[in-house]
Amino acid sequence: MFCIVAFVVLSILGIFSATHRELAHEALDCVFRRVTLRPCNTGFDEKMKARILGSVITRSETAARFLNKNFELLAWVFFLLMLTSGAYTLRSGYLFYVTGSCNGLNSSAFCVFDPTESNNQVSTSETCQINPTTETDLSLDGVDLSTFPVMNAGSEQGVVMIGCYHCEYTRKAYPMIRDLADRFDVQFYFLNYPVKEVDDSFTRLGYCAYQQDPQKFWDLNDRLFQGEMSLLDDPAYVDGLVEEAGLEKDSLQACLSSPQTQTAVLAQMNEAAKTQFFGTPTVFIHDQAFVGPKPYRVYAIALKGLFYWAF
């Protein structure tokens, strides 16, 4: 087993050293012979054992004697450790590819592939649900989605997104979800939850725009996410987006000031709160919650599987 461990280590070191590349070739030959139950004809294992013992004995004779006596046992230990670490590395790589985290969906534990945790960042506010114990606490059970704006209504599959126009993480995730909804013609629900906004004016704007013309609502929604976030605080800029979307401003203004609109919007946000979401963006695909802006592939795999992502 020492030959296998040595081959892996020396192959890595051989990237930077010609000497180690030569030893890696010897180790590979030894591996081939050992797996066919033959001894190493190069004496590689004995040569490396002598080198290691020579280095250790200069520091501790006791350690050298222990190493010499238990060399094969220690080789097996390191081999098993290498297999275990390799299995965990493959598992982490797979989980990162399909969930955006080395440790599984929505995990905030350290991931070497995402050290800044950019795939799990959310905007929160005091009005959001307290962070649940696990992602399984996030659910669409009992939520009335009929109050949310919807695209491609009637599709068998559904994506539900709770976001905020002023949330930079939502602005990162929205274009990906929007693209998938168009690409696969899936039912897509969206609700602006004012996590980073001083009031519910943008949620009321979305409600009224959708009541006036669902298609123009989605046009306006895209424009609000595509524009400069800092300009959303300028009423004149927002009015310009409304005009570009082709919405009728007088009837829109009447809807915005209606008490009925306030009641309807409050009902929407109460339905969103039933999901126990704790920040934006939160995306539900097939009732599975994705917290934070995941890579495009993660949403695509969850929606259609690996085959659709590959092709």
62 token code pair: 């006791």
Task: State the pLDDT at residue 29.
Answer: 60
**Residue entry with tokens 């994506």:** 159
How far is 77 from 172, CA to CA, in rounded Å?
46
Percent of the chain as helix, strand, coil, to the nearest 5: 60, 10, 35
Task: State the pLDDT at residue 311.
Answer: 46
Task: State the pLDDT at residue 298.
Answer: 93
How far is 131 from 303, CA to CA, in rounded Å?
25
Strands (E), the chain: 150-151, 158-163, 187-192, 282-285, 288-291
Q: Which CATH class is domain 122-292?
A: alpha beta
Task: State the pLDDT at residue 17.
Answer: 60
Cross-strand pairs, 187: 158
Minimum mean pLDDT range among 151-165, 232-246, 249-263: 151-165
Q: What percent of the chain has pLDDT over 90?
A: 45
Sign of CA dihedral 266, 271, 277, 282: negative
Give residues with Cβ within 8 angstroms of 174, minimum separation 6. 161, 163, 225, 281
Per residue in 143-171, pLDDT (tens digit) is: 999 989 999 988 777 899 999 999 999 99
Q: Give how far Cα 276 sits from Cα of 142, 171, 256, 299, Å.
A: 11, 21, 27, 20
47 token code pair: 């040569």
- Domain boundaries of the chain, sorted by first residue: 2-69, 122-292
Spacing of C-alpha 127 from chain mean position: 25
User: Helices 201-212 and 214-226 meet at what angle, rounded to 10?
Assistant: 140
Cross-strand pairs, 191: 162
Strand pairing class (282-285; 187-192): unpaired
Q: DSSP class of residue 58? A: T
How far is 50 from 68, CA to CA, in rounded Å?
9
More confident residue, 56 or 195: 195
- Provide the phi-psi class of 88: left if phi over 0, else alpha when psi is between -120 and 50, else beta: alpha
Q: What is the pTM of this model?
A: 0.75
pLDDT at 1 over 60: no
How far is 170 from 124, CA to CA, in rounded Å?
12
Helix (H, G, I), strand (E, B) or coil at 280: strand
Give the Cα-Cα-Cα angle 65, 68, 70 (nearest 5 degrees).
Answer: 105
Band the pLDDT of 305: cuts 50, 70, 90: confident
Q: Count of CB atoms within 10 A of residue 82's CB? A: 15
Biggest CA–CA distance in the chain, Å, is 91
- Provide the phi-psi class of 167: left if phi over 0, else alpha when psi is between -120 and 50, else beta: beta
More confident residue, 37 or 168: 168
More confident residue, 102 or 299: 299
